[in-house]
Amino acid sequence: MKRSTQPVLPPALLRVQQAITSCERCTRLRNYCKGIAETKRRAYQDQTYWARPVAGFGDPRARVLILGLAPGAHGANRTGRPFTGDGSGYFMYPVLHETGFANQPQGTSRDDGLKLRHAWIASVVRCAPPGDKPTPQEIRNCAPHLAAEIEELKQLRVVVCLGKIGFDGYLAYLLSKGIIERKSAYKFAHGAHYVLPNGMHLLCSYHPSLRNTNTGRLDSAMFTRIFIQARELAGLK
Give Cβ neighbours of residue 46 (< 8 Å, ≥ 6 apart).
none
Q: What does the alpha-carbon distance between residue 166 and residue 206 come to, in Å, rounded to a whole number? A: 10
Closest by alpha carbon to 162, among 65, 29, 54?
65
Q: Please check the confidence at residue 5 and state whether its pLDDT lies above 60.
A: no
Q: What does the alpha-carbon distance between residue 22 and residue 62 come to, in Å, rounded to a whole number? A: 24
Q: Please check the confidence at residue 4 and state whether its pLDDT lies above 50.
A: no
For residue 8, the model assigns a pLDDT of: 82
Mean pLDDT of 210-231: 98
User: For 89-109, what is each residue's pLDDT tens digit?
Assistant: 999 999 999 999 999 999 999
Q: Please check the confidence at residue 7 and state whether its pLDDT lies above 80.
A: no
Which pLDDT band, with edges at 50, 70 and 90, does 6 fall under? low
Question: Mean pLDDT over all residues of the chain?
Answer: 96
For residue 1, the model assigns a pLDDT of: 41
Q: Percentage of residues in the chain with pLDDT exceeding 70?
A: 97
Give Cβ neighbours of residue 162 (< 8 Å, ≥ 6 apart).
66, 67, 68, 69, 205, 206, 207, 208
Which pLDDT band, with edges at 50, 70 and 90, does 237 fall under? confident
Q: What does the alpha-carbon distance between residue 201 and residue 226 come to, in Å, rounded to a whole number? A: 12
CATH homologous superfamily of 11-233: Uracil-DNA glycosylase-like domain (3.40.470.10)
Q: Please check the confidence at residue 3 and state whether its pLDDT lies above 70.
A: no
User: For 115-144, what is each residue's pLDDT tens digit?
Assistant: 999 999 999 999 999 999 999 999 999 999
Mean pLDDT of 61-65: 98
Are 67 and 163 contacting, i.e. CB atoms less than 8 angstroms apart?
A: no
Q: Please check the confidence at residue 40 and state whether its pLDDT lies above 60.
A: yes
Give Cβ neighbours of residue 218 (< 8 Å, ≥ 6 apart).
190, 205, 206, 207, 208, 212
| Three-class secondary structure of residue 194 per DSSP | strand
User: For 172-214, what is each residue's pLDDT tens digit?
Assistant: 999 999 999 999 999 999 999 999 999 999 999 999 999 999 9
Q: What are phi and psi of 101, to 5 degrees?
A: -90, -15
Are 203 and 231 contacting, i.e. CB atoms less than 8 angstroms apart?
A: no
Q: Are strands 201-205 and 193-195 parallel, antiparallel or unpaired?
A: antiparallel
Mean pLDDT of 64-93: 98
pTM to 2 decimal places: 0.95
| Three-class secondary structure of residue 195 per DSSP | strand
Mean pLDDT of 24-38: 98
For residue 2, the model assigns a pLDDT of: 47
